[in-house]
Amino acid sequence: MLALGATSAGFCAPGVREVSRFPEQGLEGWEHRRFVEETRYRIADVDGTRVLEADACGAASGLFRETEVELGETPVLTWRWWVDAPVAGPDPRTKAGDDFAARVYVVFSGGLAFWRTTALVYVWGTAEAPAMPWRNPFTDRAAMVVAERGAPQGDRLRPVRRDVLADYRERFGTEPPAVRAVAVMTDTDQTGACAKARYAELRFLPREDLRSP
């Protein structure tokens, strides 16, 4: 599930490349890409924090947004997220087990050769999820990385910080092409399960920026 497309550009702040602050933007600039039944996305207020909330039952669709990022300047992607529970099922490295309560994609341009588009896919897996990254069972051009695993701790949004430049070099063994888009997806179409997730405050930062996401 790599071909998430892209649309309008993100926006800048000093030293930060914002992808979305959902309270200010809502879903402006995001497009919905459906694979099977639609995951329901909406803006919600959770204990005073505005988040993107997703609900899926046997569904798979994602929201994507085109954004230009200079990874040499802002290589670190941060966000906050929460799931009600990880999707349990077969081995996630197989097609039958390729379901996750929460995914965050960074999609890289294939240039004129659109079929060469690549992606890093950060997922929230079960406690038993593989520690080592793997290639997506539907396409070897997507590298799956478990950014969080196991049951959540209450309703608290969990912060994540990933060095996208370093992750791409390690997973694909080469320098990354231009970042084309960022996407989020909550999907349960393979297992038919139900899952709920929340996403907030996706942004790219310099490595030396140690502010919390």
Give the torsion sign (CA, 29, 125, 46, 58).
positive
Average pLDDT estimate for 25-33: 83
pLDDT of 12 reads 44
pLDDT category of residue 171 using cuts at 50, 70 and 90: very high
Q: What is the pLDDT of the chain when averaged over all its residues?
A: 87
Q: Which of 27-41, 79-93, 108-122, 168-182 has the lowest mean pLDDT?
A: 108-122
pLDDT of 48 reads 80
**Pairwise pLDDT comparison (158 vs 13), residue with the higher score:** 158
Residue 209 has pLDDT above 80, yes or no: no
Average pLDDT estimate for 43-58: 90
Angle (nearest 5°) at CA 6 between 62 and 119:
70
Contacts of 155 (CB under 8 A, 6+ apart): 46, 47, 82
Whose CA is closest to 35, among 189, 142, 140?
A: 189
Q: What is the largest CA-CA distance in the chain?
A: 45
pLDDT in tens, 176-204: 999 999 999 999 999 999 999 999 999 99
Give the torsion sign (CA, 195, 163, 43, 119).
negative
Whose CA is closest to 37, among 195, 138, 182, 188?
A: 188
pLDDT of 52 reads 94
pLDDT in tens, 111-122: 655 667 899 999
Residue 172 has pLDDT above 60, yes or no: yes
Residue 212 has pLDDT above 60, yes or no: no
pLDDT of 190 reads 94
Q: Judge whether 65 and 183 are in contact, CB under 8 Å.
A: yes
pLDDT in tens, 54-82: 999 999 999 999 988 999 999 999 999 99
Average pLDDT estimate for 1-16: 44
Placement of tokens 């038993």 in the chain: 128
pLDDT of 129 reads 92
